[in-house]
A and B are shown apart, each in its own frame.
Chain A
Amino acid sequence: MKNLFSGLTMKEVKLALIIAVTFFLVLPLFITEGWISLVIEILILSLAATGLNLMLGYAGMVSFGPAGFYAVGAYTTALVLMKTKLPFVLAFVSGPILTALLAVCIGWFCVRLTHVYFALLTLAFSQIIFTIIHGWYSFTKGDDGIVGVPIPDFLSSIYNFYYFNLIIIAGCTWFLWRIIKSPFGKTLQAIRENPQRALSVGINVHRYQLATFVLSGLFLGVAGTLFCTFSKNVFPNYAHWLKSTEMLVVCLLGGINVFWGPFVGSFIYQFLDNFISGYTLYWPLVLGTTIILLLLFLRGGIAGYVANRISLKQKTNKQVN
C-alpha cells in the first residue's frame, strides 16, 4: 500500500508537511478577506471529505449519507448556542460528540448490510435527519434555518477564525493520518479488500466497521460544527443528499485511494465553483463535464494519478540506478 499510493519517503512527507503548514500560516497575509473565507470553506470541506474517505477509501464502505452527520454537528452547536447559556467550548464540543453518539446508533444497523444496501441505508438515515430538521419547525426553524448563531467575539474576526479553523483541521487531519497508518488502519484496508478473509484471521469485521462509521461521523461532525461557527447560520440543506453527493464527488475527484485525495478534490471543487460561477450560470454543466472527462481519462482521481506517476518515476529511477 505505502509503495503503491504514497510513493514518498518519510523525509519527503515531512518536508511536504512543513511547506504546507508554513503556506497556510502565512497565507492570510497575502490575500483578501474574500479569499480567506474561500480557503476556510475549502479546508472545512476537505476535513469532511477526508473523514468520509476513512470509510470510503480505506474501509471500502460506500456511504450515501455523510451530510446527515455534517448537519447534526452544525445543528447541535447552533442549537446549544441559541437555546442554552452554555459556554462556547461546550457547544463546540457537543456537536462532534452528539454526532459520534448518533453514528453509534445508526452505524449499528448499517454495518450489518453490505455494498449497495449499506449505501442505501445510510441514505435513508440521512434523509430522516433531513426530514426532522426540515419538519420540526418549532425546534429547528425548518426551512428558514437558524440565522445569527451567537459566536464569541474572538472568532468573529475572519483572521482569528482562520487560525482557529486551521488548528482544529490540522489536528484532525493529523489524527486521521495516524489512524490510517496504524494497525487499525491496516485492519480496515484488509476488511475492504476481503471481509470474509478478515473474519477468518480473527477480526470482528462488524465491530471495526462500526468503529470506522463512528470515527467518520465524528470528523464529519467536527466539519459541520466548524462550518456553523464560521457562517453563523445553519440550514436544512446541510443534510440534503445533494450535500452528501458533493462530498462523494470531492473524494472521487481527488482520488479515494490517496490520503490527501479529498484535500485536492476539495480545492479543485471549490475553486471551480468560485471561478466558473463568476463567469457563467452554468457551473453544474462544467462540473458535470469535468467529472465525466476525469472518469474516462484520469482514473483514480487527480491525486491518485499524481501518486501513480510519482511511484512510476521512482521505479524507473531505481532501474536506471
Chain B
Amino acid sequence: MTLPGVIIQLLCGMSTAMGIFLIAVGLSLIFGTLRILNLAHGVLYMLGAYLCYWITSVLLPNIGGSFWWSLLLGPITVAIFGGVVEVLLLRRIYNREHLDQYLLTFALVLIVSDLIKFAWGVDFHPVPIPPVLNGAFFFMGLPFPKYNIFLICCGIFTFIGLRYMIYSTKLGKIIRAMLHSRDMTSALGINVPFVFTVVFMLGCWLAGLGGALIVPTISASPGMDMNVLIESFVIVVIGGLGSLSGAFLGAIIYGLVNAFGILIAPRLAVAFIYIIMIVVLIIRPWGLMGEPEK
C-alpha cells in the first residue's frame, strides 16, 4: 500500500472514530456518574439523526443553513427528552440492581425506536451535506470528503471542550468527585439528583449531536442504533468505564482497527475489536485509562 493510501485509510478511521466518540463518551459519563449502563444511548443517537433529518427537510427546508439549525436544535431536544426520562423513570431505580436498570433502559430502546418508526416510517431518510462541506480535499492526489474532515474536527473539539468542562469547571469537579466515590459527594452536601439529571442530559445531548453529525453520511433509518450501541460499549470498555480520555482513545483504536482490519480480513474485521476488548478486559478490566474500583 502506498503512503497516500495509508493516510486516506488513517483519515477514514479517524472520521469513524470521532463520530462514534461523541456517542461513546456520553455513555461513559453516564455510567461513571450514574452507574447505569444506558442501553437507550443508541436510540437517543438515532433520535438525534431523525431530528436532524426532520429539521433540515420538513421544518426548515427552504432556509439556508438549515443543517446548522438542526445541529443546534436537534441535540437540545434530545437532551430535554433525556432529562424528562431521567426525572420520571431512571430516578426511581438508582438503588435497584443492575439488572432492573438494564431492563428499564432496554424498554426505552423499544419505546423510542417504535415512536420513531411511528413518526417517520421505515424508509431511509437522507440528509444532504451542507454545500460548504460538500466535495473533497485532495491528499497527494487522492480525494477525501470534506465532510469527514469536518467530523474529525467536531470530535476533537468536543473532546477538548469536555476536558475543559471536566477539569476546569465546578460541575466538572463534582463529576470527577462522583467518578471517584459516590459516598463522598453526597457527604459534601452536593445536590446529587440534580447533578445526575445534568450529566444524563449532557450524555443525551452528545448522543443527539453524534446522530445529527453522522446522519449526512449514512441516512436516517430504522435499526441504525443497534450496531452503534454495541460499538460504543466496546469503546467505553477498552478505554475505561467513566473515563473521558479513555473514550477518546478507545474510539481512535476502534476507528483505526476497523479501517486497517478491513484490508487484512474484510469479513472478520469486526471481530478484531472484540478481541481487543476481551484482551483489555482480561488484563485490565477497568480499561486502558480507567481506574480500578476500590
Contact = CB atoms under 8 A, between A and B. Distances in A.
The reply, when asked whether chain A contacts chain B directly with Cβ atoms under 8 A, is: yes
Interface of A: 56, 62, 109, 112-113, 115-117, 119-121, 123-125, 127-128, 131-132, 134-137, 142, 241-242, 245, 248-249, 252, 256, 281-282, 284-285, 287-289, 291-292, 295-296, 299
B268 A131 contact: yes
Nearest to A60: B97
B110 A288 contact: yes
B177 interface: no
B234 to A, nearest CB: 7
B111 A249 contact: no
Closest 5 CB pairs of A and B: A288-B110, A288-B111, A285-B114, A135-B267, A291-B107
Contact of B110 (A113, A132, A285, A299): A285
Given A56-B99, A135-B270, 8 more contacts: A116-B98, A119-B37, A285-B110, A288-B107, A288-B111, A291-B104, A295-B103, A295-B107
23 contacts: A62-B102, A112-B282, A119-B98, A120-B233, A120-B281, A121-B278, A123-B230, A124-B277, A124-B281, A125-B274, A132-B271, A142-B267, A242-B226, A248-B102, A249-B106, A284-B110, A285-B114, A285-B115, A288-B110, A288-B111, A295-B93, A295-B103, A295-B107
Contacts of B268: 131-132, 135-136
Residue picked from B110, B241, B271, most chain A C-beta under 10 Å: B110
A113 to B, nearest CB: 5
B3 interface: no
Contact of A296 (B92, B267, B275): B92
Nearest to B266: A135
A145 B244 CA distance: 40
A8 to B, nearest CB: 25
A287 B110 CA distance: 7
Secondary structure type dominating chain B contacts: helix
Interface in B239-293: 241, 267-268, 270-271, 274-275, 277-278, 281-282, 285-286
B95 to A, nearest CB: 12
A264 to B, nearest CB: 16
Contacts of B234: 124, 127
B114 A284 contact: yes
Contact of B113 (A135, A252, A284): A284
B151 interface: no
B111 A109 contact: no
Contacts of B285: 113, 117
Nearest to B282: A109
Contact of B270 (A62, A121, A131, A248): A131
A59 B233 CA distance: 25
Contacts of B92: 296
Contacts of B118: 282, 285
B271 A137 contact: no
B274 A241 contact: no
A242 B227 CA distance: 11
Contacts of A117: 281, 285-286
B228 to A, nearest CB: 12
Contacts of A249: 103, 106
A38 B101 CA distance: 30
B37 A135 contact: no
Nearest to A252: B103
B282 A285 contact: no
A287 B99 CA distance: 17
A291 B226 CA distance: 20
A256 B99 CA distance: 10
Contacts of B271: 128, 131-132, 135
Contacts of B110: 284-285, 287-288, 291
Nearest to A251: B99
B114 A282 contact: yes
Contacts of A135: 267-268, 270-271
A285 B100 CA distance: 18
Interface string B206-250: 000000000000000000001000100110010001000000000
Given A282-B118, A285-B115, A127 B230 contact: yes
Contact of A252 (B39, B99, B230, B281): B99
Contacts of A285: 110-111, 114-115, 118
Contacts of B237: 120, 124
B18 interface: no
A62 B98 contact: yes
B46 to A, nearest CB: 14
Given A109-B278, A125-B278, A242-B226, A116 B113 contact: no
A236 to B, nearest CB: 12
B3 to A, nearest CB: 30
Nearest to B272: A131
A244 to B, nearest CB: 11
Nearest to A281: B117
B154 interface: no
B166 interface: no
A128 B100 CA distance: 26
Interface in B104-135: 104, 106-111, 113-115, 117-118
A62 B101 CA distance: 12
A3 to B, nearest CB: 22
A121 B281 contact: yes
B160 interface: no
Contacts of B111: 284-285, 288-289, 292
A136 B274 CA distance: 16
A117 B286 CA distance: 8
B103 A291 contact: yes
B272 to A, nearest CB: 9
